[in-house]
Homo-oligomer: A and B are copies of this chain.
Amino acid sequence: MTKPHKARTEGKPAEKETAEKEAGGKKVAAKIPMRDFSQSLPMSLLRTRESVMRHFRPSLRAHDLTEQQWRIIRALAASGEIEVTELARVAFLLGPSLSRILRDLEARKLIERRLLKADLRRSIVSITSKGLKLIEAVAPTSEAIYAEMTKRFGVRKLSDLQALLHELEAALLAMPAADGAEDDLSDQ
């Protein structure tokens, strides 16, 4: 990928000597503020997600569950039995995190594991009855919160948002990944 030479200033110019780098003779003042930082897509997604999770955390916490543990429990309840690798995919967790969490959930007897005789490298994970009870205890509250959110935001807008999120995800999955070995200008 080539480097664009269009660092433009548009946000608020930083006072101080935030480096006046100029191309030619014009002072581009604050330099490279890039898109207003607080409005970058990753930040927007992060903030919005947090504004959502903020409402669910108290309920999970009341049942001694972290967000990730809840994701796993729910995924298991929805799929019955599932291999660790597949569980990592649906619960969107990395292997190491999943490994640790499964260890803890197993100790709490919320889930169970058994080896696959056909391939001893693999194991099958499933939820226990105790785990199911926990879900039954938490789900109503979660559903109520979700319903309230939907009501406040609007079914239609929520649906539109979900659609856009999926479209963006699809568009980016189709976009080739830059390997980070761009230009490597260690000079300067």
Contact = CB atoms under 8 A, between A and B. Distances in A.
Contact of A90 (B37, B51, B147): B37
A58 B169 CA distance: 18
A103 interface: no
A134 to B, nearest CB: 6
B126 A16 contact: yes
Contact of A94 (B5, B56, B185): B5
A25 interface: no
B31 A136 contact: yes
**In terms of DSSP, what is the predominant structure of the interface of chain A?**
helix
Contact of A8 (B17, B61, B89): B89
Interface string A5-28: 111110110111111110100101
A92 B43 contact: yes
Contacts of A6: 143
Given A3-B141, A47-B92, A162 B80 contact: no
A54 B45 CA distance: 14
Interface string A158-188: 1011101111110111110111111111011
Interface in A41-93: 41-64, 67, 71, 74-75, 77-83, 85-86, 88-90, 92-93
A168 B51 contact: yes
Contacts of A55: 172, 175, 177-178
B135 A23 contact: no
Interface string A105-136: 00000000000000000000011011011111
B11 A78 contact: yes
Closest 7 CB pairs between A and B?
A: A58-B180, A21-B80, A14-B80, A45-B49, A62-B180, A3-B140, A16-B80
